[in-house]
Copies of this chain bind each other. A is one copy, B any other.
Amino acid sequence: MAKIDEVAKAAGVSISTVSYALSGKRPVSAETRTRIEAAVLELDYHPNAGARMLAGSRTNIFALTEPFRGDTHAPTHMSFVLAASIAARRNDYDLLLLTQEDSSRGMSRVASSGLVDGILVLDVAPADERVALARRIDIPTVFIGVPDDHEGLVCVDLDFEAAAALAVQRLADAGHRSVGLIGQPAIAYDNSNFPPRVRRGFDAQADECGLDAQFRTSGSVRPDAITTRRGTAELLDAGVTGLVVHASEEAIREVLAEVGERGLSIPADVSVISVASSFDAASLAPPLDDIPLIPQRSCDVAVDLALRALEANPPAPSVHLIAPEYHSRGSVGSVREGPEDTAR
């Protein structure tokens, strides 16, 4: 546990020069810097975090609030936490984990004790209690997700509406007249912010294109095979030829299984697009066109925004929507002219 004065002595310079050499906030001659760096390595010097926090204006820590509710999709959430951690570390920041210990109390605690420089909010609910807190707190807070009431907040997320709309548009372009959305488990439409956004985008674009549109969930609380199968079956029975799926990998497998068991093939008989998937839609059988949800992208932007909020000219509050990217894998085909059409 060498201290800065030992480094200074070893390098034959003053304490302040060591500090500046390490922070780069003041020019230091190449020769001096070399000596200091050697001393640092020699003594295995690491600046004391507490002293830094006290003397400096930064703690180099962001809080990450992630309730870890039991009903959420664990793999997706883990991806976001990991992506946030990587993005933070790349900017020399650590993450302090705040779980459901009263997410609000944790936030105000770390904010008012000066433990963290900013807060990243994950697993955002449509009506999220952390929204009110973010407004009250005096450190930058970035939401990864968009709550219903986001006035004055900084939010980052995939543009789910646009993603769903893009999928519908592709189907419409391919001639499909009747499309269906297999969504998340029903409860997610209350607990999470993005499933409703996908649904809105889907409905709006279907309307825009004059398509017949229907919706089914993939379960009530968690994805379940029965509900997903039945929902898919109902849509196919109703003459849907284009499916947009916003569901877990397991649920999508059920959708594909149902399609397969009916002897329908993709894309000849039915077209399928996965939206906001955080798994690899290319490894499904058959590989599906998809518009992926990339945690890394959201988290990179979020960390960047948090960092910029600490600088002199903080960016104004706003919702950063990440443009959807469509990946073609051959699961969308032109609609086959059906008997109704020729009969007319």
Contacts and interface: CB of A to CB of B under 8 A. Distances in A.
Contact of A115 (B49, B77, B85, B101): B49
A24 B319 CA distance: 46
A86 to B, nearest CB: 7
Interface in A100-148: 100-102, 106, 109-110, 112-115, 138
Q: How large is the interface on A (under 10, 10 to 19, 20 to 34, 35 or more residues)?
A: 35 or more
B54 A48 contact: yes
A130 to B, nearest CB: 16
A109 B74 CA distance: 29
Interface in A63-83: 64, 68, 74-75, 77-78, 81-82
A1 interface: yes
A9 interface: no
A50 B44 contact: no
Interface of A: 1, 44, 46-54, 59, 61, 64, 68, 74-75, 77-78, 81-82, 85-86, 89, 94-102, 106, 109-110, 112-115, 138, 250
B112 A1 contact: yes
Question: Which 8 A-B pairs have CB atoms at the shortest separation, nearest pair first?
Answer: A50-B53, A74-B74, A50-B54, A49-B115, A46-B112, A74-B75, A85-B99, A49-B113
A68 B79 CA distance: 8
Nearest to A52: B50
A85 B101 contact: yes
Contact of A97 (B51, B52, B96, B106): B96
Give the one of A44, A68, A77, A110 with max B CB within 10 A: A68
Contacts of A114: 1, 48-50
B74 A97 contact: no
Contact of A48 (B68, B96, B102, B113): B113
A85 B59 contact: no
Given A50-B52, A59-B49, A85 B97 contact: yes
How many monomers of this chain does the complex have? Answer: 2
A256 B112 CA distance: 52
Give the one of A59, A74, A78 with max B CB within 10 A: A78
Nearest to A61: B96
Contact of A53 (B46, B53, B85, B250): B53
Contacts of A61: 96
A115 B94 contact: yes
Given A1-B112, A48-B114, 17 more contacts: A47-B113, A49-B110, A49-B113, A49-B114, A50-B53, A50-B54, A50-B115, A51-B54, A74-B78, A78-B78, A82-B99, A82-B100, A85-B98, A85-B102, A89-B102, A95-B97, A250-B250
Contacts of A89: 99, 101-102, 106
Nearest to A49: B115
Contacts of A44: 112
B96 A94 contact: yes
A81 B52 contact: no
Nearest to A45: B112
